[in-house]
Amino acid sequence: MNDHHDAPAPEHRRPEGLSDTTVEALGALSKALETTERARGSLYDFHQLTGSADLELDRAVRLLREGGHPESADRVEREILGRNVIPGHWTFQIVESYNSTYYDPFKQVEAEIRGALAGGADHIYEAEMKERRRTPGHPDHTAS
């Protein structure tokens, strides 16, 4: 087995002098950012699902008209089709606001703190957990 597989990659090694508490704090910060990534994904799901529903209304309106229900078709067009999901906003605007107001600053702060405290090393907490849990010498437990 090659030696380079027996040690964590340099970008996952704890910088000298970094305390356990700081590593744990950076792990918590990283976990919070990962949770935010999931929330952002859910927001994109919301955006795409709402957009798909709005586009499906075109079919509903057409079928209502073909079925002899012009008043109902007109009501869907007037009341629902293209409607704001919150006052003044479509879903794309909510996504943009979330990104610029919360997500982008969160990513920037996390990267700056990780850079200042750990030289930019990422996932140190997880890499150390991997080291504690792997079986040295096992081909499916290599460090890198």
Is a pLDDT exceeding 70 seen at residue 4? no
The whole domain housing 27 covers 15-133
Domain contains 142: no
Per the rule left: phi > 0, alpha: psi between -120 and 50, beta: everything else, 47 is alpha
Which tokens hold the place of 78?
């007037």
Taking each helix axis as running N to C, give the angle between helix 20-66 and helix 104-118, from 0 to 180 degrees, rounded to the nearest 10. Answer: 160
- What's the rounded Cα separation, in Å, for the pair 73 and 62? 7
For residues 13-22, give the mean pLDDT: 90
State the sign of the Cα–Cα–Cα–Cα dihedral 50, 55, 56, 62: positive
Domain contains 141: no
For the chain, how many structural domains are there in total? 1
For residues 48-58, give the mean pLDDT: 97
Q: How confident is the model at residue 2 (pLDDT cuts 50, 70, 90)?
A: very low
Dihedral angle of Cα 35, 40, 44, 49, to the nearest 10 degrees: 50
Domain contains 1: no
Domain contains 98: yes
The reported pLDDT for the residue numbered 12 is: 80
Domain contains 123: yes
Is a pLDDT exceeding 80 seen at residue 132? yes
The reported pLDDT for the residue numbered 1 is: 44
Domain contains 40: yes
Domain contains 92: yes
pLDDT higher at 132 or 86:
86
- What's the rounded Cα separation, in Å, for the pair 6 and 30? 25
Reported pTM: 0.81
Domain contains 58: yes
- What's the rounded Cα separation, in Å, for the pair 112 and 133? 29
